Amino acid sequence: MGLMDVRLVQLAAGIDPAENRDLVDARLGAIDPGASLVVLPEATMTDFGPTDLDLASFAEPLDGPFVALLARHARRIGATVVAGTFEPSTAELGAEAPPFNTLVVVAPDGTLSATYRKIHLYDSFGYRESDRLSPGTIEPVVVDVAGRRLGLMTCYDLRFPELARLLVDAGADTLVVPAAWVAGEGKLHHWRTLLAARAIENTVHVLAAAQGGRRYTGHSLVADPQGSIVVEAAEGDETLSAVLDPEEPGRTRSTNPSLANRRIDRPRGDA
């Protein structure tokens, strides 16, 4: 298993999908072939915008123009690309159901290899994401990329350690966290602390690609399995680079075998 060459793209998306595609096209176009994984933030296709913005009118199917753009760059770079979109709700939820906050994973050949619909909607700090979006089903999504096992989380999911543990129990050795982490008092401290905690308690790499700009915290970062920050952005547009050693989680677990030492397992139903 070789080293994983990662790029985290921090940007500030707007509410015009065509302008966002131009922005993403330029940012991905600046990445040379050879990277293994490229991660963009939550809501890259279209930002959340004001609270009265109807996100359903912006939602795109998974074969729409945004995913097609990601596929073109995935093929050119030869990398897996992960990014945040809004996806129309399913027929089972009814025609009036809000869309999903969805991560798409596009393989190096341009095919859509996985999706993750955000489970924990941001009903916190005076905001109600559930008024505008539908939650995904409670099912961990783990994807094989360049010999690594990537577990997918989105933004507010970070505050729920049980999801990270489900992903690790499903085989993830790396957590990928696209986010639009709203700025505010103490929020940067929460962001850094929670990312480090998910890395430490699960002895995994954590890759967090965040939106920047005045509305969001920015500070995309890579944390190693000991919770140390390998590289971190500031608040503005930036592309971070990191190379992950696939042996590092195993080395960390040899000295900190907390996963193996667990005595409290996941809740089980009655036998």
Helix (H, G, I), strand (E, B) or coil at 127: strand
Between CA 151 and CA 155 the distance in angstroms is 13
Q: What dihedral do alpha carbons 167, 168, 170, 176 form, nearest 10°?
A: 50
Q: Which of the residues are catalytic?
A: 42, 118, 155
**Single-letter code of the amino acid located at 4:** M
**Of the candidates 39, 46, 7, 49, the residue with the CA atom closest to the CA atom of residue 243:** 7
Q: What is each CA distance from 228 to 133, 153, 222, in whole angstroms?
A: 34, 20, 8
Q: Count CB atoms within 10 A of the CB of residue 96.
A: 7
Under 8 Å CB-to-CB from 60, ≥6 apart: which residues?
Answer: 17, 45, 66, 67, 85, 86, 87, 88
Between CA 59 and CA 170 the distance in angstroms is 30
Between CA 246 and CA 126 the distance in angstroms is 40
In the chain, where does DSSP find H-type helix? 17-29, 65-77, 161-169, 187-202, 248-255
**Of the candidates 66, 76, 2, the residue with the CA atom closest to the CA atom of residue 40:** 66
